[in-house]
Amino acid sequence: MFQSFEVTARPEQGPPRLAALRDRMAEAALDGFLVPRADAHQGEYVGPHDERLAWLTGFTGSAGFCAVLQAVAGVFIDGRYRTQVKAQVAADFTPVPWPDVSLGDWLKEQMPSGGIVGFDPWLHTPGEIETLEKALKNSGITLQPSPNLVDAIWHDQPAPPMAPAKVHPLEFAGESHGDKCARLGATLKEAGEAAALITLPDALCWLLNIRGADIARNPVAQGFAVLMADGHVHLFMAEAKLSEVRAHLGDGVTIHAPDSLPGFLDDLAGPVRAHKATVPLYLAERLGDRVVWGDDPCALPKACKNEAEIEGAAAAHLRDGAAVVELLAWLDQQAPGSITETQVVTRLETLRRSDNALQDISFETIAGTGPNGAIMHYRVTEETDSLLEEGQLIVLDSGGQYLDGTTDITRTIPIGEPPRAAAEAFTRVLQGMIAMSRLRWPVGLAGREIEAVGRVPLWLAGQDFNHGLGHGVGAYLSVHEGPQRLSRVSSVPLQPGMILSNEPGYYREGAFGIRLENLIVVIKAPALPDGDAEREMLEWRTLTYAPIDRRLIVKEMMTGPEIDWINSYHADVAEKIGPRVSADTRKWLEAATAPL
């Protein structure tokens, strides 16, 4: 099982911790200190040992950072978290809308007379620091590497994770780790590079066909690796993690103690590839002029799933879909006002765990009803746990980590009779989801070129949402995986085998939230019947199967092709999921998937 412990802080704990940090800053002659939500591996997810941002501020979002000055402490959050942050941080912290307001501009405004801002070089990338230094040029503000001052005051900081790594079977991986290392090493050799430094845990685990439990809900083992051009790998990972995978790794992998990495890099012949957006500045500086900036060699191969990974994901989604359908049928039987968000979460996780292939959930289940649903990444607590009341909606976003795949699904369900305005917004969200699901597009386009397709129905009504339309998903790895995204900032061309989410939404603060999400995989589009296509095209294969609530669909707003799509999708749901659920649930499913 994965670790479930996490670091949280109540708002009232923030002020004394902030005061202690400022005392340390004064002792170190620093006017500011940066506290990112990052660890030395620069992935999206961090373990309890590295939850410095949450410990200091109380903010638990998956992205953001804090800039602490002596007179102000700014918590920088993007559009997903602007509602959440208000409830999590004390008044001593100032939420800052980011990237609307850049850190450089904010520092210049708050430090007009200049000053020294410290940062831990293990927790920032060269790209981050270069961008900030450029923004601060001629401002009188200086950036200075520093020991981590949060660690110095966090007296009960959890120890670094030491969960044992496990072998990921070849039947699910689809390619041996030896073949992966040789294949990727050859790309380094062709580029004239001697080696590549790999820092992201999911990349390392994918490359070596291992999984771990160092990060809650993410089956990764933390470590670093250096891939040589001849395919040999130097693995820097704690000995305590390796007992079950040593024989699997074989002679092609040399194991080193983690603290020997800086010295190893000092002696490593170049050129050495590193990814400027993910390598810690500290390690990049140890490489010096031997570093060559480039993409992580694992990134695209990992994103483009092979046949075994795709079919594993499809199988996992069918079993996962059965658990979701059992939950939806149960939820429909509960009277308004009789159950809470926590009860929904518990019931769904129990249903998922009836599948022996489940290793864990893939993220903390989101079950937000009424105003809580408008918090995009809401997580129920004892203080916020709410009854599902008549006339409300509940946003239910959840997923599982199975040996053969990672799932992520969102459904929005009405409790009793839904308000007309909510049903109309839901219909627009559904129309956006359908538009993306039906899309065919020319080879070579990136997420930024097609993402707007899923927003147009909302835009026509003057509405929108503050998150991307979709993220990449791993193969029994991280539920958020790069480099592919359906986002206006993603320039990575979509390629066959990439799995992404399709999840438009709408959020009315203080009232309700709406989100729908299926996972979809890029495939080559078959030739059109008339045979007149001029370009090679791509399209989607849907992986997720669970009904979309018909009570929230305003049929008169839908076009004929949209109605055809939802009816066809629901027919597939009934066919694929019906045989997997109980008899009573099957009857419910027949009604839930009836044609519009």
Contacts of 476 (CB under 8 A, 6+ apart): 168, 172, 211, 219, 312, 359, 401, 402, 403, 404, 405, 406
Domains of the chain (ranges; CATH) run: 11-153 (3.40.350.10), 166-299 (3.40.350.10), 304-592 (3.90.230.10)
The CA-CA-CA angle for residues 468, 470, 471, to 5°, reads 105
Torsion, CA 491, CA 495, CA 498, CA 502, rounded to 10 = 60
Q: CA 90, CA 11: separation in Å to the nearest integer? A: 5
Among 564, 476, 478, residue whose Cα is nearest residue 215: 478
Torsion, CA 273, CA 278, CA 281, CA 283, rounded to 10 = -50
Confirm if 518 and 493 have CB atoms less than 8 A apart. Answer: no
Partners of residue 76 on adjacent β-strands: 65, 96
Question: Which two structure tokens, joined as six digits, stand for 440?
Answer: 């065919």
Low-confidence ranges of the chain (pLDDT < 50): 1-5
CA 210 vs CA 245, 247, 264, 313, 400: distances in Å:
8, 12, 23, 17, 18
> Would you say the pTM of this structure is higher than 0.75?
yes
DSSP 252: T
CA 480 vs CA 43, 280, 295, 501: distances in Å:
10, 20, 18, 9
403 by Cβ neighbours in 10 Å (0-12 / 13-18 / 19+) ranks as middle
Give residue-wise pLDDT tens across range 508-525: 999 999 999 999 999 999
CA 565 vs CA 436, 480, 548, 569: distances in Å:
12, 27, 12, 6
How crowded is residue 263: how many other Cβ atoms within 10 Å of its Cβ?
11
Instruction: Please give the pLDDT value at position 548.
Output: 98
Average pLDDT, the chain: 95
Q: Which amino acid is at 372?
A: N
Q: CA 242, CA 244: separation in Å to the nearest integer? A: 6
Chain centroid to CA 123: 19
Give the chain's count of helices (H) and strands (E).
Answer: 20, 28
